[in-house]
A and B are shown apart, each in its own frame.
Chain A
Amino acid sequence: MTRWRWIWLAASLALAACHPAEQQAALPASHAPAAASSVPKTASRFEPPPDASMPKDDFGKQVLLGRQIFTDTGHYAKSYVGNALNCENCHLDAGRLAHSAPMWGAYPMYPAYRSKNHHVNTFAERLQGCFRYSMNGKAPPLGDDVLVALEAYAYWMSKGEPIGVAPPGHGYAKLPRPAQAPDYARGEAVFKRDCALCHGDNGQGQRVADRTVFPPLWGAQSFNWGAGMERLDNAAGFIKANMPFGRGNTLSDQDAWDVAYFMNAHERPQDPRFDGSVMKTRKAYHDTPDSLYGTTVNGSVLGQGAE
């Protein structure tokens, strides 16, 4: 253990001692089903073309491969995947669903400057980031079939959309800030009530016949600390709009923030940009209240990684 870790451990223990209430069990903040106020229904939402209209020619083959990568990433992009996730775990309906970071919401917005890496990213470069962080794997080289197929799929899906205009339903739902600061114990209660059935008591997910059915939410087989879903605002927006499956927009906003906090207050694989110091890595890449990386929760400094 490094000296820094000792200092942090001591500091965390001191802090934990000051907040014994954090350890107590809590009830979710609200049991009332929430009005879906924060996720507007947009009348003029872009409709991606139906799968049946996928061309049957050589271009269509790449489009189809893109969709296959989306739904069975560990098989079709095996060498670039380092966990048990599939693209469609976070981009529902194989990347087609509004408020679930649909491909038609992203494709027309690139190339774009990203503060995440301080330069203008092509769409292919953006896809590389997905593999490096969300899939906890390695970036396919530019020009690799995996990137070409995924880009072809996103391009095909976005046909007819204006370029450079963020369409309604892009990204994840943006929730208003919660009335109460997100809380681990309340989040745990929401998790046990509404999430553990599918994702397991320890967020480990469930697999059948070597395929992920319910994705692991934290731990070695989940997304790493560099992924977008590590941000509380992204996670809360995704959860609110889409969880539990088929019952999106039934959690209260507060429940969504609390359970997002609970999920992201667990360890997951290290941020690949980690330079030996959790605090330096936090300052460089996680310097926002929406990231728990490098913060102390229940007496532990998050960001140690999970193997």
Chain B
Amino acid sequence: MSMLHIAVLACCALMAKSVFADTLDGGSIARQGNGHGVAPCMACHAADGGGQVAAGFPRLAGLPQAYLRKQLDDFAQGARVNATMQPVASGLSDAERDAVAAYYSKLPVPQAKPAATLSSDDAQLAQSLATRGRWPNGLPACEQCHGPGGVGVGDHFPPLAGQSAVYLGNQLHAWQQGARRNDPLQLMQTVANKLSDADIAAISAWYAAQPATLTKESQP
């Protein structure tokens, strides 16, 4: 084999490696981890990206790509505090974070798991907070930012509908306590501080039970 052959082969190998790096497979990280110590996402977030409702591991499937990417950055940098996610996010390279965020954003939203039923008082409280807010206290309705039915709006306002109630409650408490402070313009910290424990319990359970996508009937 001539030196030329060796050089060509070496170039091919390098190119193949760089092509592989550019087209990282978010799905394989989700299923198998990244091969450098980061555990598979699906271990907690489930194979379909639906999360684990009871454990409070959130659904990732169908969330906005930019939102997912930002959360990974914020976990790594500590603006969002979580003992499990901090090492995971820190262990992913920039390109891997992009790939994982892209992968989950494109997954179809799984069928909602059966959610606990609310008392009619709680349901009424939750629906009122979700659709009307409590403006005399300066509290906007959830759907004024998270969209009709809480299905999410754009890159910055993730879906609430069909999300784990435990997760939603944990986040609202984390904002109240300042453990989570990565919300743009401190919108959620402000809102969470206007909610009581009873409000949080009701609104979390209520949104968990809402359909994750708008059905024809629920649209006006």
Does any Cβ of A come within 8 Å of B13's Cβ?
no
Among the 9-residue stretches B46-54, B114-122, B132-140, the one with 4 or more Cβ atoms under 8 Å from chain A is B132-140
Interface residues of B in 122-160 (CB under 8 A from A): 132-133, 135-136, 138-140, 143-145, 147-149, 151-154, 156
Per-position 1/0 for A216-255, Cβ under 8 A of B: 0000000000000000000000000000111110000000
Does any Cβ of B come within 8 Å of A198's Cβ?
yes
Does any Cβ of A come within 8 Å of B23's Cβ?
no
Q: Is A206 within 8 A of B144, CB to CB?
A: no
Q: Is A209 within 8 A of B187, CB to CB?
A: no
Q: Give the bracket for the number of chain B residues in contact with chain A.
A: 20 to 34
Contacts of A21 in B (CB 8 A): none
With both beta carbons as reference points, the residue of chain A lying nearest to B184 in the complex is identified as: A197
Q: Which residue of the partner chain, among A75, A93, A94, A246, contacts B190 with CB atoms under 8 Å? A: A246
Contacts of A209 in B (CB 8 A): 147-149, 151, 214, 219
Does any Cβ of B come within 8 Å of A161's Cβ?
no
Contacts of A75 in B (CB 8 A): 220
With both beta carbons as reference points, the residue of chain A lying nearest to B188 in the complex is identified as: A246
Contacts of A280 in B (CB 8 A): none
Contacts of A213 in B (CB 8 A): 143-145, 147-148, 153
Q: Give A210 to B219 CA distance when docked, in angstroms.
A: 9
Contacts of A245 in B (CB 8 A): 140, 144-145, 187
Does any Cβ of A come within 8 Å of B185's Cβ?
yes
Does any Cβ of A come within 8 Å of B191's Cβ?
yes
Per-position 1/0 for A77-101, Cβ under 8 A of B: 0000000000000001110110000
Shortest Cβ gap from B65 to chain A (Å): 16
Shortest Cβ gap from A91 to chain B (Å): 11
Q: Give A9 to B132 CA distance when docked, in angstroms.
A: 47
Does any Cβ of A come within 8 Å of B93's Cβ?
no
Contacts of B153 in A (CB 8 A): 206, 208, 213-214
Q: Give A214 to B187 CA distance when docked, in angstroms.
A: 15
Does any Cβ of B come within 8 Å of A72's Cβ?
yes
Contacts of B151 in A (CB 8 A): 208-209
A-B contact pairs, 24 of them (CB 8 A): A93-B132, A197-B156, A197-B184, A208-B147, A209-B148, A209-B149, A209-B151, A209-B214, A209-B219, A210-B220, A211-B148, A213-B143, A213-B144, A213-B147, A213-B148, A213-B153, A244-B185, A244-B187, A245-B144, A245-B145, A245-B187, A246-B139, A246-B140, A248-B138
Other than A208-B152, A213-B153, give 4 A-B pairs with Cβ distance below 8 A.
A51-B132, A197-B184, A208-B153, A246-B140
